Amino acid sequence: MLDSFIMTTGAFSMIFDEFDRVLLCHRRDKDLWNLPGGRVEQGESPWDAAIREAKEEICVDIHLIKLQGVYYKRDVDDIVFNFIAKIIRGVPRLSSEADSIKYFALDELPSNIAPKQKERIFDYMQNKDSKTIYRTQ
């Protein structure tokens, strides 16, 4: 019998303002900026998780526009769904998960951004009009 195999799944959203600045939130549990998102719960779809996580982390309702990319993180056996989204209700505000929220220009991303999320942001900006990206990170 095989040992139990558990691959985790994440779902994140890229939200841009009218100046193409990306919204990041600073985590309360680590000194790290990241896209709104997190783990997909059992029985939940990645798209529902992205919507839920935006509500929990930045207190807004979002509409998912498209799937930007699917990324496999081999080192931790994690698959990540990355969406492009827009805010449809609410204004981003602090939560129990985020102690700061800010839009960043691509040339001003904080040094303590999650590196793989930075890579995903640049993937999208370089390939805005292309199809979904599938990549191992």
- Render pLDDT for 1-21 as a digit per residue (tens, 0 to 9): 445 668 999 999 999 999 999
What domains can you pick out in the chain, each with its CATH number?
A: 8-136 (3.90.79.10)
Residues contacting 72, CB < 8 A, separation 6+ = 78, 79, 80, 135, 136, 137
The answer to whether the pTM exceeds 0.75 is yes
Query: Residue 4's pLDDT is what?
Result: 64
- Average confidence (pLDDT) over 92-121: 96
Residues contacting 88, CB < 8 A, separation 6+ = 60, 61, 62, 63
End-to-end CA distance of the chain: 30
Contact 67, 79 (CB under 8 A): no
